[in-house]
Chain A
Amino acid sequence: MKKSLLALAALLFVIVALWQCKTRGAATSAAAGGDAQKAYVPPGKYDEFYNFVSGGFNGQVSVYGLPSGRLLKIIPVFSQFPENGYGYNEETKAMLMTSHGFVPWDDEHHISMSLTNGEQDGRWCFANANNTPRVGRIDLKTFRTTEILEIPNAGGNHSSPFITENSEYIVAGTRFSIPMDDQPDVPINTYKQNFRGTASFISIDPNDGHMKLAFQVLLPGINLDLSRSGKGPSHDWFFFSCYNSEQANTLLEVNASQKDKDFIVAINWKKAEEYAKAGKGQVKKVRYAHNTLDEKTHTATTKWENEVIMLDPKELKDFVYFMPCPKSPHGCDVNPTGEYIVGSGKLAAIIPVFSFEKMQKAIADKNFEGEYDGIPVLKYDAVLHGEVQKPGLGPLHTEFDADGNAYTSFFVSSEIVKWNVKSLQVLDRVPTYYSIGHLCVPGGDTKKPWGKYVIAYNKITKDRYLPTGPELAQSAQIYDISGDKMKLILDFPTVGEPHYANAIPAELLMKNSVKFFKLEENNHPYVAKGEGETKVTRNGNQVHVNMTAIRSHLTPDNIEGVKLGDEVYFHVTNLEQDWDIPHGFAVKGANTAEILIMPGETQTYYWKPDRVGVFPFYCTDFCSALHQEMQGYMRVSPAGANVPLKYGTGEAAPAPTESK
């Protein structure tokens, strides 16, 4: 009896002790200012969301898992990528072709996920190039860039590639107004007369995602900044923020901040579409590149386009209106119901929120305060739902949750502020480290926000991580927004300079993810679908090697008969039909990057030998236990040498010759 009481007492004690232990743990982690557990994804477990993050000056899109912040993938879009040969191999060079020639880099700011009924459908991810105006499309089955379209009549494609509710169009709006392509040479100080902005509408084929520049809207010489399409009731409209309504062409730092208000440009794209289809636009002669990667040949081609339809709102009335918006608005975001348009005047200490219903009424009543370059300007008070007063300094961007709340980033005061869209009351604020630019709530730009987290993409890092010299990784932070108060749960470094990002539930993408390319569907002109199809052929001074790679050899791996002055094309087909077994390929001294060939794919490596000798080549991706053995030699003889073309692997390799 005594003993059993003792045992009972001991058990009770254990329970209490364990409970205390647990509560103490919870209290400590709350005190740590981060609910780190909420960002923890155990080894072997998957993240809840894919986070597609623009890369800014690296021209790429990077993909992270949320909430762990783990980097999963880097997708090159507008920049060459030596890591996998994108833009270096013969198949993808055409992707980076423009009317300016081969442009191997760009500044990629924003992305948009394809939508159906205003909700993410997980088919494509679009990205913009700011420097040499382009838009790109990533196929979310392969996580590869499959199409790039150049935008004519544009300088600085910034307000792009924002998308309509059913992926009818993505847009491209010019940040730097320029003279149009058909009258290019004008004095810079004739900016007001000769410089124009354009808003381009690029239609998306609902079946295959192919892009087509449907029409351009001609605007005064202002700087279009960001944009969003309408939703629900505002479905037919697109909204663009603009700055520099002063139309300055020098020292914009001062001269573009003179007016109290700039504009949000509201474009009725449905009406514009009707005008374009009715042939009411002017057909302009232009030249721009349209690059498409063929899924079956794994090869990109450039098609040259020569025309664009231009719609001038000064002549074709009633489809473009200006809404005054305080102080150089940056973000221009539409809430999930489509009723409210949030302008973020980056130099203002208020956030104006516009009402779509009021805008419609003001247009019907012709409640204009005047015109700007022939385009009606609606009265500010007539379109305003209200202003968020003193929310912080330097508002930039706004995302939404499903509960009627908005999350706005503030660069100058370095914080995220949560506020209610209807009541305009500030509900919460958290500091970011440091000076946040864009922010992302999963689905926070759609009709159906997934909520849960807001991610801050900060512009300044300073002391957040171990120092790495003058250049630091950009800092991002994840906050849990499931409660009333935002809680910082994780810091994570990012690659490039993230601007806008989207997050999409993992289950929408992972089920469609391609594991390898089917060899039997490979229509590459130099494919070798088996080692029996490998060969080396000469065409003048061009030598084509149809090569195969499989664990753990290259076929052929001994090649002779190449001469100085020849250009060699290694067309390497990866014969594997197995998930995650790429092979790489490189040759000593080649003036290019490696190629990384996915199973079932063919890629081509160009090499022009610069000297006589024997050159090793090898597989650059650790593929098997005998990866180190996966190598070969090419002999290069002097020009005019009498060495016959011979090639093979193993028994088929050129026979050893007697030494003299």
Chain B
Amino acid sequence: MSLTAGQTASPDTLPARPGPVRVWSQRPVYVLLATGPALFLAALFLLPLAHVVVKGFAAPASGPGNYTRIVTGGPYLPVMLGTLETALMVTAVCLVLAYPLAFVGSRLQGRLYTVFMALILIPLFTSVVVRSYAWMVLFQRSGPINQTLVTLGFIESPIRLLQTPFAVTVGMVHVLLPMMVLPILTSMRSLDGTLLQAGEIMGASPARVFVRIFVPMTLPGASAGIILVFISALGFFVTPALLGGARSTMIAVLIEQQAVDLLNWPMASALATMLLVTAVLIYMGYSRLTRRFNEMRA
């Protein structure tokens, strides 16, 4: 019996390899469904964004004047570099903390796993402002951290914790950690356990199996976490504004100062554009890297 197009296939006449699946986006109904959200995004996201980009070139005189100022002097470039450095640091700390945390989580079953996920997710659903204020309380001169350190004799008198890069890093790590844990956890839980068994039965010790198989297999999750955390960290505002103070300013804090305090909207726009372009470039580099990596491996 031959199978012709349009004919209903009974299970035993189904071809072993299904033909190309119809691309869903060609269906008019889906195009219609996508129109609303597309218009919404265009009006409320793309247009204002374009406005910001244009504004950076429009005033005080039309031309790249704001960008010349950014490159030639002022706090702009050092703050941008400091932002990149902080973001890198936060990402590194997140990775170091999240990988073992996700590993533990990936071994859990049933109720324990539910509790673990709740512990990871509840902070994610808690306002960043609330969490940053909580850190302010902890980091205060008379706060519990200083008191504990004094009581234990590590320091003689309370030290300054707030308004340091340290406080910013800790606060940001706390906020961003779930975004690192979740993709890593997903890659660990979807890892086929027989691969690890195969490695072990072929003579690799558990430590070697971990390094040679487990880590490479969970690298995609880690790289997704890295890019999520790094790009989010670049634009962080609330946490550095509350915990950082003037000396450890991040670029988003600087943009806010320009826009709100100094009312220098063109400069704020130029800085925002620079941040956006930086993030886009980093993402493009990342996606190109992962694509090449994926072509190289499975």
- Are A and B a genuine interacting pair, yes or no? no
| A binding-site residues for B, Cβ under 8 Å | none
